[in-house]
Amino acid sequence: MTKNWFQMKEQGAGTGRLLVSYYIYRIFGTAALRIIAFFVVVTVFLTAKERRNASFKFYKILGKPPLISSFKQFLNYGNALVDKFVSFCGDMSTETFEIKNPKVFNGAFFINSHIGNIEILRSLLSLPDAKRANIFLQSDACEVFNNFLKTLAVKVNIEVFPVENISAETSIIISERLKNGEIVFMAGDRVSAQNSNTVYEADFLGQKIYLPLGTLKFALIMECPIYFIVCAKEHKNYIIYTEEFVFLADEKRAARLKRLEKEYVEFLEKYTLKYPYQFYHFFDFFRDKKS
Tell me, yes or no, whether 160 lies in a domain.
yes
pLDDT at 223 over 50: yes
Predicted local confidence at residue 138, as pLDDT: 77
End-to-end alpha-carbon separation of the chain, Å?
7
Number of structural domains found in the chain: 1
Tell me, yes or no, whether 285 lies in a domain.
no
Cα-to-chain-centroid distance, residue 289: 21
Predicted local confidence at residue 131, as pLDDT: 86
Average pLDDT of 40-47? 94
Tell me, yes or no, whether 57 lies in a domain.
yes
Predicted local confidence at residue 88, as pLDDT: 81
Average pLDDT of 81-105? 86
pLDDT at 61 over 70: yes
Tell me, yes or no, whether 13 lies in a domain.
yes
Mean of the per-residue pLDDT values of the chain: 88
Name the pTM for this structure: 0.91
> Model confidence over 133-191: pLDDT tens digits?
999 987 666 566 666 666 665 666 888 888 888 889 999 999 999 999 999 999 999 88
The residue with greater pLDDT, 8 or 17, is 17
pLDDT at 244 over 90: yes
Least confident of 8-12, 181-185, 233-237, 243-247: 8-12
- Interatomic CA distance for residues 159 and 133, integer angstroms: 6
Predicted local confidence at residue 194, as pLDDT: 65
Tell me, yes or no, whether 204 lies in a domain.
yes
- Residue 111: domain span: 5-278
CA dist list (Å): 14 to 29, 112, 140, 152, 266: 20, 24, 9, 14, 34
Tell me, yes or no, whether 170 lies in a domain.
yes
Tell me, yes or no, whether 19 lies in a domain.
yes
Q: What percent of the chain has pLDDT over 90?
A: 63
All residues at 6 or more sequence positions from 33 whose CB lies less than 8 Å from its CB, including other chains: 21, 24, 25, 82, 85, 86
The residue with greater pLDDT, 291 or 280, is 280
pLDDT at 6 over 70: no
Predicted local confidence at residue 11, as pLDDT: 47
> Model confidence over 201-216: pLDDT tens digits?
999 999 999 999 999 9
